[in-house]
Structure 1
Amino acid sequence: MTCWRNKMNQWIRLCFLILGGGTIYKLSSIKDVFYVPMQEDWGLTNTQIGLGFTAYAIVQTIGYFGSMAIADRFSKKILLPVGLIGVSLCGAYLSTLPSFTGYLVAFCGMALFGEVFYWPVLLKAVRLLGSKQEQGRMFGFLEAGRGVVDVIIASGALFVFVQFGEGKEGMQAGLIYYTLTTLLVGVITYFIVDDDDKIEAGKSSADANKEIIEGIKQVIKCPNLWLAASSIFFVYAAYCGLTYFIPFLKQIYAIPVAMVGAYGIINQYGLKMVGGPIGGFLADKVFKSPIRYLKWSFLAATIAMIVFIQLPHESMSVMFGLIATLGFGAIIFTQRAIFFAPMEEIGTPRKYAGSAMAFACIIGYLPAMFAYTLYGYFLDTFEGIEGFSYVFYMMAGFSFCGFICATTLVKRLKNQSITSSDQELINETA
């Protein structure tokens, strides 16, 4: 009975984490629903939209160094609500459709609150909820649950957009809707999420800070963590390219704007609901290792994208184009669902879970600093199918590099396991 109650409490806590994790990034991901209106009604180019995410990524990357200290130093009861409410304030400003400079400032603010204060703390909380054998499903259900919340909230934004005329006013109404939703969830989070133990417990402030620094040193000296973080890097680099399936389908397959918005919701959010549980199940139950699953899914993604590029898109049916792009996206989302799960498999201490997650975020999310701008540049420079082909080849290249990286990590873990077994045998013999 006690075991059942503990399990129930575990999943209830996960649900509250999912609620915030599925809400906070809707404002910084407005391109998923409003990419075309951002161009036609806001007046932003592909490159300018990409630069917003580059500015976001710069603050994100620099800020994660600060997260390595605060994620294990302060309680999630404070950090999680601060992140949500801070993002909502940035959304209130973004809803005025400011100049390009204001657009960049808003994205920098959302990066500070959403990435530095919120994301590593959320990942730490999820990792500590489950055992080593449960990491794949924990992170898988986190991603799936976020997908459910994503679809509900993003569908609401699309509904508001249509109701207000699908133009400038519609986009502003959608942004206000996102802002109010994020603010509400931030307030709820403060009253619902429990406090937690911090490294400073029972220590002076100086001793707590010293222990945090020692933990950071230990984390960054781990080669396996560098490889695991690099695997995240290559998943995320390919993931960034999924955004460009939206303008690809509009330009090459000529689908209408409203359908583009609906596709964006399915592509970026709906696939989380499918990819999350499948990725978690395959990692835990089939491959018995998140790293091994990433290895083979990287190879599958590489082959799938190369085949996709060779298809005669300009003469194919719209339905086939939709299915093909969503199929590739599904592979990437199974990877995204579990790409933080290896933090337990590679043996990083739970005591420094926050620092390890923050470091993995520093390396793993680096593509956001350049990928959107890089992809946007090629689309602005090369017209039609040529520009999209360059983008898709780069996505295939990133996936292949991920295959090499994950293969290396699998071999290292296997060798370490053999060495550890030999040492245990020696000790028993002695």
Structure 2
Amino acid sequence: MTKSQKWVSFLILSMTCGVIYQVAYIRFVFLGPTARALDVSSQDYANIISVFGIVAMVMYFFGGWFADRLSPKFLVVTALAVTGIADLYLGTVPGYWGILAAHVVMAVAGMGLYWSALVKAIGMLGDSSEQGRLFGFLEGVRGVTSTVVGFVGTAVVAASVAEAAGVLWLIRLYGILCFVYAALVWLFVKGDDRRLAGLGSSTVTLRQLWRAARNRYTWLIGGTVMLMYCFYTTLGYFSPLLEHRYGMAAALVGVIGVVRTYVFQFVAGPAGGVVVDKVTRSTPRFLRWMFAGCALIALSFLVLPRDSAFKWVALALMFALCLLVFASRGVYWAQVGEAGIHPDERGGVIGLASGIAYLPDAFLPTLSAWWIGDPSATPAVPEQGGGYTALFLFLLAVALLGLGLTTLTDRTRRRELAARAAPAGAEAAPLAA
């Protein structure tokens, strides 16, 4: 493979990452309009999203099995094509059960067929000294692609006479893009069988999972990521909050949704990594700062009056929260390396911790929709389940739990290092308060 073939392959593969998940996670930008476009209630749409989350969580465990047995290029092309079919089918508004089936298919394709195959496909483009740069640039290209596609989508919706009709055209457009990228991958992506063989197995065995279950860091890391992921999962519900409680224009809310979901992805992630490396020198310590900031913002939303006079304050708070959440997402899996987990056990720890970490996708959309009810209802109609007050109380509790868990992770690691140093005559350092 020539150098130009390598970077063309890398660029195309990275860009697919910014396309394949667009419809599955369209709620982060267009929550209410998507439910109306698909002709389902907000609660029914939330239930469908939760089923998607459950299937996606299960598929993460099977992705490695597929990637070990089939060509990564074939799997990526298949996943894109299947997702494109599901997107176009969804654009026909097939009713509740059809929408549910489409989301199940997207979860199987995106997490079962695509993700592990993409990781292998990217990994075989470079030797061991290039892996960090390859995956770092992967996230950057993914973020840029998602941002560009997101702004195009916002323009499509804004240009439509009816917002719901615009969302349907957008879903169809994303489906077509999936087919375009499937063709580009098939025609232009090259592989290196020698490097692919050197990457080893991606399958997580039952034995690895059993060993991971007995490792305390599996639960500490998985729990920490799960708590921060609660904030990420609920970010989509800030759009109806800004529009229907703080009076922001729907078109502006769409642009804000793209910035919130994609721009912070490639801005805050690298910034978080720099702060961990240069300032805190500890991921749990950094995450403790992030949880403290999230707790303060959740408390601020609890006391901030839901009135149009405070809409810019609400927007500033939401952007501050996005900065904290995406800075955390960029580094929280670095805890696996910092904890000194043996390489033979890392696959099991990451696999089981991922199952714990992404649990919010299985229940939080349904719960959040029940809390806030119909976001387009007038304020005179009482919000069911406690409304946004219940949501922010939940997030405040999550942030406080995250503070405790990151403190425990940090102290556990310090004790281990002190215990290892003691036999060599080193004096154990006092634990941080």
TM class by shorter chain equals 0.7 to 0.9
User: Does the 8 Å contact 2:87/2:171 carry over to 1?
Assistant: yes
Judging changes above 3 Å, is the alpha-carbon distance between structure 1 residues 123 and 279 closer, same or farther for their aligned structure 2 residues? Answer: farther
Structure 2: runs of 5 or more not aligned: 375-381, 427-433
Give the 5 Å matches for 1:189-228: 189-190=185-186, 191-192=188-189, 194-195=191-192, 196-198=195-197, 212-228=205-221
Offset from partner CA, 1:314-362 (integer Å, 9 cap, x none): 1534322222211112211111222222232223454665554433321
TM-score, normalized by length of structure 2?
A: 0.83
SS of aligned partner of 2:19: coil
Give, as a single letter, the amino acid of the residue that structure 1 aligns with 2:173. Y
Judging changes above 3 Å, is the alpha-carbon distance between structure 1 residues 138 and 378 closer, same or farther for their aligned structure 2 residues? Answer: farther
CA distance in 2, matches of 1:277, 1:97: 39
Judging changes above 3 Å, is the alpha-carbon distance between structure 1 residues 110 and 166 closer, same or farther for their aligned structure 2 residues? Answer: same
Instruction: State the match for 1:204 in structure 2.
Output: none
Judging changes above 3 Å, is the alpha-carbon distance between structure 1 residues 312 and 272 closer, same or farther for their aligned structure 2 residues? Answer: same
Aligned counterpart in structure 2 of residue 270 of structure 1, from 227, 239, 263: 263
CA distance in 2, matches of 1:368, 1:171: 22
CA distance in 1, matches of 2:279, 2:120: 25
Give the 5 Å matches for 1:322-401: 322-350=315-343, 355-380=348-373, 382-383=382-383, 387-401=387-401
Judging changes above 3 Å, is the alpha-carbon distance between structure 1 residues 298 and 120 closer, same or farther for their aligned structure 2 residues? Answer: farther
Offset from partner CA, 1:222-257 (integer Å, 9 cap, x none): 221221111111111111111111000111122222
Aligned counterpart in structure 2 of residue 295 of structure 1, from 270, 288, 291: 288
Instruction: State the match for 1:205 in structure 2.
Output: none
User: Does the 8 Å contact 1:16/1:189 carry over to 2?
Assistant: yes
User: Does the 8 Å contact 1:219/1:356 carry over to 2?
Assistant: yes
Instruction: State the match for 2:40 in structure 1.
Output: 44
Work out whether 1:178 is the aligned partner of 2:158. Answer: no
Judging changes above 3 Å, is the alpha-carbon distance between structure 1 residues 245 and 193 closer, same or farther for their aligned structure 2 residues? Answer: farther
SS of aligned partner of 1:313: coil
CA distance in 1, matches of 2:16, 2:33: 26
User: Does the 8 Å contact 1:72/1:355 carry over to 2?
Assistant: no
Instruction: State the match for 1:404 in structure 2.
Output: 404
CA distance in 2, matches of 1:46, 1:145: 32
* CA positional deviation for 1:385: 12
* CA positional deviation for 1:413: 1.6
CA distance in 2, matches of 1:219, 1:13: 35
Give the 5 Å matches for 1:210-249: 212-249=205-242
* CA positional deviation for 1:369: 0.5
Identity %: 25
SS of aligned partner of 2:30: helix
Instruction: State the match for 1:20 in structure 2.
Output: 16
User: Does the 8 Å contact 2:292/2:399 carry over to 1?
Assistant: yes
Judging changes above 3 Å, is the alpha-carbon distance between structure 1 residues 403 and 143 closer, same or farther for their aligned structure 2 residues? Answer: farther
Judging changes above 3 Å, is the alpha-carbon distance between structure 1 residues 418 and 83 closer, same or farther for their aligned structure 2 residues? Answer: farther
Instruction: State the match for 1:282 in structure 2.
Output: 275
* CA positional deviation for 1:217: 3.8
* CA positional deviation for 1:58: 1.5
* CA positional deviation for 1:387: 0.8
Judging changes above 3 Å, is the alpha-carbon distance between structure 1 residues 198 and 389 closer, same or farther for their aligned structure 2 residues? Answer: farther
Give, as a single letter, the amino acid of the residue that structure 2 aligns with 1:300. G
Judging changes above 3 Å, is the alpha-carbon distance between structure 1 residues 284 and 299 closer, same or farther for their aligned structure 2 residues? Answer: same
CA distance in 1, matches of 2:359, 2:142: 22
Instruction: State the match for 2:113 in structure 1.
Output: 117
* CA positional deviation for 1:417: 1.8
Work out whether 1:307 is the aligned partner of 2:307. Answer: no
CA distance in 2, matches of 1:292, 1:115: 30
TM-score, normalized by length of structure 1?
A: 0.83
Offset from partner CA, 1:87-133 (integer Å, 9 cap, x none): 2221121111220111111111111111222335556778998999x
CA distance in 2, matches of 1:211, 1:240: 26
User: Does the 8 Å contact 1:64/1:359 carry over to 2?
Assistant: no
Judging changes above 3 Å, is the alpha-carbon distance between structure 1 residues 80 and 220 closer, same or farther for their aligned structure 2 residues? Answer: farther
Offset from partner CA, 1:246-287 (integer Å, 9 cap, x none): 000111122222222112111111221321121121122222
SS of aligned partner of 2:307: helix
Instruction: State the match for 2:431 in structure 1.
Output: none
Give, as a single letter, the amino acid of the residue that structure 1 aligns with 2:84. S
Aligned counterpart in structure 2 of residue 103 of structure 1, from 93, 99, 106: 99
Judging changes above 3 Å, is the alpha-carbon distance between structure 1 residues 210 and 365 closer, same or farther for their aligned structure 2 residues? Answer: closer
* CA positional deviation for 1:63: 2.3
Q: CA RMSD in A?
A: 3.6
Greater mean alpha carbon deviation, residues 409-418 or residues 116-125: 116-125
CA distance in 2, matches of 1:266, 1:112: 28
